[in-house]
């Protein structure tokens, strides 16, 4: 079994804690993909100092040159797309069709960010003073703490890290503990693309150890977080007190509205994909439906029929339409919500029990 490491100041290093945690395949919990460092505040501090030390040199690197590195990264992602997609399916469960799309979003962002290296325009404006010129240029913020979720383990890191890099910032990246392998491969390819040492640092570990230390570290100038509303509120409070820049992308309660003149076949497929894509584990999932009473019965019958036909299983099987939930704890959580709904008066039309108690977390 491979023992993975953190990536700090251009080197792969073990955590100072000496502890590790297992990365488990949710479709086959007996398969351990690898063991990763259970890092702590000391590791975060080392990573932040490396990012601080490299910041001045990186920000002085011409933006088009930074773009060339990101363009190379996009090419490497393209070459390794299938490998990364299969790794992602193994460690978080969603089907290959979705993980391939996840990697493609990272590829697209890499090329987009690379192009922005020649488009970091400033502004000029007329001055009211005769002997003065007035203009603005873009300047990086500093060291960015990047905290990402497990449901889009290539796309979301790309959305956060690559724009930060092209603008001249350095990064300390804390990925979700459920998807460390995809994050490690992401950083390996950035390193291969030519990112200088210390510009991107990867620290594995839990939210209460690594995430908390990252958010509170005085050397972190910006926090970018995607995750739960509960955690987001806490981050907002901590960063607000420190007057620290922060960006929060949190949970949603999304609704699809179906009017009486809607194409019902299309509406059902939209609801099905919205609700069951990524096994419903995303902030953009369709969690509510508002249907016009004139088409409610027809729409409901067809939606239940289609839901019953979904093939559930291992995401590596091309016939599978929906993979497992990420973990046993998440499966229990979803099941509990179904029970709460019934208890509060909802009518259960289909499901309400585990697909299988053996194998994966379905």
Q: Cite the active site residues.
A: 249, 283
- Tell me the C-alpha distance between 114 and 110, whole Å: 6
Concatenated DSSP letters for 186-216? HHHHHHHHTPPTTTEEE----IIIIIHHHHH
- Of 134, 135, 162, the C-alpha closest to 224 is 162
Supply the DSSP symbol for 129: S
Name 224's bridge partners.
Answer: 146, 247
Asked whether 324 and 316 are in contact (CB, 8 A), the reply is: no
- Tell me the C-alpha distance between 359 and 26, whole Å: 8
């Amino acid at each position: 079994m491979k023992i993975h490491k953190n990536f700090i100041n251009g080197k792969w290093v073990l955590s100072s804690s000496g502890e590790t945690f297992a990365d488990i395949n949710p479709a086959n919990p007996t398969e351990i993909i690898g063991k990763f460092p259970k890092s702590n505040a000391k590791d975060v501090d080392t990573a932040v100092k490396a990012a601080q030390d490299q910041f001045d040199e990186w920000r002085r690197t011409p933006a088009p040159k930074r773009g060339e590195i990101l363009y190379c990264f996009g090419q490497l992602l393209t070459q390794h797309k299938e490998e990364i997609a299969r790794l992602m399916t193994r460690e978080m469960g969603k089907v290959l069709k979705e993980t391939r799309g996840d990697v493609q979003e990272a590829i697209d962002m890499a090329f987009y960010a690379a192009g922005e290296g020649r488009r970091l325009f400033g502004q000029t404006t007329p001055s009211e003073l005769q002997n003065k010129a007035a203009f603005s240029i873009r300047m990086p913020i500093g060291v960015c703490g990047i905290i990402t979720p497990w449901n889009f383990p290539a796309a979301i890191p790309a959305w956060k890290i690559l724009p930060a890099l092209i603008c001249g910032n350095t990064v300390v990246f804390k990925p979700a503990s459920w998807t460390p392998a995809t994050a490690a491969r992401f950083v390996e390819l950035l390193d291969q693309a030519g990112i200088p040492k210390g510009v991107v640092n990867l620290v594995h570990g839990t939210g209460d150890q690594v995430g908390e230390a990252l958010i509170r570290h005085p050397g972190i100038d910006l926090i970018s977080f995607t995750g739960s509303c509960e955690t987001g509120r806490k981050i907002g409070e901590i960063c607000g007190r420190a007057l620290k820049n922060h960006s929060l992308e949190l949970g949603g309660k999304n609704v699809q509205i179906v009017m009486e003149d809607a194409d019902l076949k299309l509406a059902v497929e939209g609801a099905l994909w919205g609700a069951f894509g990524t096994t419903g584990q995303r902030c953009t999932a369709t969690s509510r439906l508002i249907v016009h009473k004139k088409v409610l019965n027809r729409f409901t019958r067809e939606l239940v029929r289609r839901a019953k036909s979904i093939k559930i299983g291992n995401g590596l099987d091309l016939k599978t339409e929906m993979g497992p939930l990420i973990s046993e704890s998440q499966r229990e959580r979803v099941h509990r919500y179904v029970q709460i709904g019934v208890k509060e008066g909802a009518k259960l039309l289909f499901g309400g029990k585990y697909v299988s108690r053996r194998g994966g977390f379905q």
